[in-house]
Amino acid sequence: MPSSTSPDEEDGLETCVLKVFDLDLKESSFINPSNSLKAELDGSTKKKYSFAKKKAFALFVKTKQVPAPSYEFKGKRWRCCQQLFADQTSIHRHVATQHAEDVYQQTASILKQLTAALSASQSLTATDKRSSSKDCLAPSQEVSSWLPDVSHATLQELKSGQGDAEGEVLLYYCYCDLEDPHWVCAWQTALCRHLHLTGKIRIATEGINGTVGGSRVATRLYVEVMLSCPLFKEYLSKDDFKSSRGGSHCFPELRVGVFEEIVPMGISPSQVSYKNPGIHLSPAEFHKEIEKLLSQSNQEQGDTILLDCRNFYESKIGRFQGCVAPDIRKFSYFPSYVDKNLDIFRQKEGADVLHWGHSLRTGFCIPQSQAGVCKEVFQLKGGIHKYLEEFPDGFYKGKLFVFDERFALAYNSSVVSECSYCGAPWDQYKLCSTPQCRQLVLTCSACQGQGFTACCVMCQDKAGKPASGPAQDSFKEECECTARRPRIPQEQRA
C-alpha cells in the first residue's frame, strides 16, 4: 500500500529511536521493576535491554504526536495528558516522569518478542503459514509505509463530516492474535491522524476494538486499509464494521492504547480465551428465538434465558422484551454478577442462554460448563446494531447506547426509560452538572428548566461550586447514587 507521506513528513520508527532525547532514565520509577525483568532474561537478551527501552520510549512518544499548525511546515507537536508539547525535550521529559510504567510495560513486551525471535526456528511449520503473512508488519517496519494514498481526496473531503449528514462513525472489533500490539498502536495512531479521524481504539495481544469518526471518505479508506492489512484480513469482513451517522465531532480527541483486554471484562485472556465463544446466531435466527420465547404462555417456566450483558446505562434506555438486564455499572462486573446469580440459571434446569453484549469471551463466562446450569450459550452475531438494521421495529425497544458524545441512537419510537426527577418518559442522557462526578443522568427538558441537572441530591448541591483539591477534570468523586448502588446486585427480570 503506497503512502503519500514523504520521509520528511513522517519519520519511521527506527529513525524515531535514534532521535530519542538522551534523558537519564536511570532515576525513572520504572527502572526498579525492570531489575526483576532483567534478572529473568538470558545473557543474549540482556544485551538487547538498552535498545528495547529506547525503542519502547520512542514508540510511546510516537503515539502522542499530532499534526502541527499549517504555517509550521516542519514543526511537530505532541499531546499527552491534556497538555500540548512543542519540542522534543519537553515531551520526552514528560513521558520519562509521568509515564514510566507505560514505557516499562512496552519494554517488557519488546523483550519478550526478542526472546521469542532468538529461539524461533528458521523454517516455517504448517502452523506457521498463517503467521508468515504478518512478517511484512514486523516491528522494524516503518509505520509510514502502511498509510494509504490520499492524493485523490482533498483536505476538505478528509476533514469534512462535522455534521451528521456528512460524517460517519465506525464501530468494530476483531479477535485475533497480535504479536506486537505496540507497533499496531503506533500504526493506528498514525493512520487515524493521516485520515483526520477521532475516537477510541483498544489494542491487545487478543485483537483490536475501535470506534472512530470522521468524513465518509476517511472512514471508507480506513475500512479498506483494515481489510487489506495482513494482520486482520483473514478475520475481518466488511460486515464487521457497524456504521452510523456522526463524524469526528462525536469524540473530543483520538485515544489509542495497548491494554490486556480489548473489551474490559476483568478476566485475563490467558484464563478465558476468545477462541472458546458461544454459538453465534444471525439477527434473523436470534429474532426467531425471541419470538418463540415470547409466544409461550408462561415464559418463567420456559427453558430459555434472554440475558443482556451490558451495563445499566445501556439497558436502561433500550433492551429486548422479556430480558434479564444486570444492574451493573461496568461490564467488568459481569463475571461476578454471574457467580452471584447462578440461581437464575439453575431454575431453568439446563437452559439455553441467548445473550448480547461486548465480547466473544462473554459466552464462556456464562457457566455452561457447570452441570445443570446452562445447556447451551448463543450470542447475537453483530450485536444489537446489526439486529436493529434488520429489525428496527423488532423485539428491541428503545434506543441503542453508544460510547461517544451522542450517547444513544434511535431506530424506533419506543421510549422505555423515564426522567429521574418527575418520572416522565425520557431517554436522552446528559452528563451530571457536577464536573467531578461525570455520571450520566436522565432529566427531561422541564426538569432541566427548573435546575435539576445532576444525578443525585449530593451532586445537585455541588453544582456550580468550584472543586476543592485537584483540578476538576483530573479526578472523579463517588456520589450518592453510585455509593448506594450494590456492586453486584441480585438480579430481577426486566
**Single residue among 89, 117, 145 that ends a domain in this structure:** 117
Write down the pTM of the prediction: 0.63
Residues 81 and 141 placed together within one structural domain of the fold: no
Residues 397 and 423 placed together within one structural domain of the fold: no
The per-residue pLDDT for 381 is: 86
The per-residue pLDDT for 358 is: 62
Determine the Cα–Cα distance for residues 13 and 55; give it in Å rounded to an integer. 8
Long-range contacts from 290-296, C-beta under 8 angstroms, 24+ separation: 290/320, 290/321, 290/322, 290/354, 290/395, 291/395, 293/322, 293/354, 294/321, 294/322, 294/395
Residues 383 and 288 placed together within one structural domain of the fold: yes
Residues 343 and 441 placed together within one structural domain of the fold: no
Beta-carbon contacts of residue 26 (< 8 Å; ≥ 6 apart) = none
Comparing CA positions, the residue from 102, 297, 292, 284 lying closest to residue 185 is 102
Asked if residue 224 is part of any domain, the answer here is yes
Q: What is the CATH number of the domain that holds 240?
A: 3.30.70.100
Asked if residue 243 is part of any domain, the answer here is yes
CA distances to 99, 274, 283, 308, 413 from 380, rounded to whole Å, are: 39, 15, 7, 11, 23
Mode of pairing for the β-strands spanning 400-401 and 408-409: antiparallel
Beta-carbon contacts of residue 476 (< 8 Å; ≥ 6 apart) = 436, 437, 438
- Identify the residue whose cell numbers are 519494554: 107
**Single residue among 203, 227, 262 that ends a domain in this structure:** 262
Determine the Cα–Cα distance for residues 489 and 494; give it in Å rounded to an integer. 14
Residues 258 and 138 placed together within one structural domain of the fold: yes
| Helix, strand and coil percent figures for the chain, each rounded to 5 | 35, 15, 45
Residues 135 and 113 placed together within one structural domain of the fold: no
Residues 110 and 161 placed together within one structural domain of the fold: no
The per-residue pLDDT for 122 is: 35
The per-residue pLDDT for 304 is: 82
Residues in the chain: 494
The C-alpha cell of 232 is what?
Answer: 486482520
Residues 253 and 330 placed together within one structural domain of the fold: no
- Torsional sign, CA 144, 150, 156, 161: negative
CA distances to 407, 424, 430, 447, 480 from 420, rounded to whole Å, are: 17, 8, 12, 9, 14
Orientation angle between helical segments 283-294 and 383-390, nearest 10 degrees: 80
Number of domains in the chain: 4
The per-residue pLDDT for 212 is: 96
The per-residue pLDDT for 316 is: 93
CA distances to 395, 402, 409 from 430, rounded to whole Å, are: 26, 13, 14
Task: State which residues of the chain have pLDDT below 50.
Answer: 1-38, 73, 120-136, 138-140, 163-164, 350, 368-369, 371, 469-475, 492-494
The per-residue pLDDT for 327 is: 85
Asked if residue 488 is part of any domain, the answer here is yes
Domain span at residue 28?
A: 1-117
Long-range contacts from 435-438, C-beta under 8 angstroms, 24+ separation: 435/467, 435/472, 435/473, 436/462, 436/467, 436/472, 436/475, 436/476, 436/477, 437/462, 437/476, 437/477, 437/479, 438/476
Q: Which helix (H) or strand (E) holds 246?
A: strand 242-246
- How many Cβ atoms sit within 10 Å of the Cβ of residue 20? 18
The C-alpha cell of 31 is what?
Answer: 527502572
Residues 396 and 467 placed together within one structural domain of the fold: no
Asked if residue 348 is part of any domain, the answer here is yes
Asked if residue 408 is part of any domain, the answer here is no
Residues 286 and 388 placed together within one structural domain of the fold: yes
Comparing CA positions, the residue from 420, 411, 413 lying closest to residue 389 is 411
Q: Which helix (H) or strand (E) holds 242?
A: strand 242-246
CA distances to 100, 175, 177, 273, 342 from 360, rounded to whole Å, are: 32, 8, 14, 9, 21
Q: What is the CATH number of the domain that holds 374?
A: 3.40.250.10
Are the CB atoms for 206 and 275 separated by under 8 Å?
no
The per-residue pLDDT for 309 is: 85
Residue 489, Cβ density class (10 Å: 0-12 exposed, 13-18 middle, ≥19 buried)? middle
Residues 101 and 212 placed together within one structural domain of the fold: no
The full DSSP string for 357-403 is: SS-TTHHHHS-TTSTTTEEEEEEETTHHHHHHHH-TTSSEEEPEE-S
Residues 140 and 226 placed together within one structural domain of the fold: yes
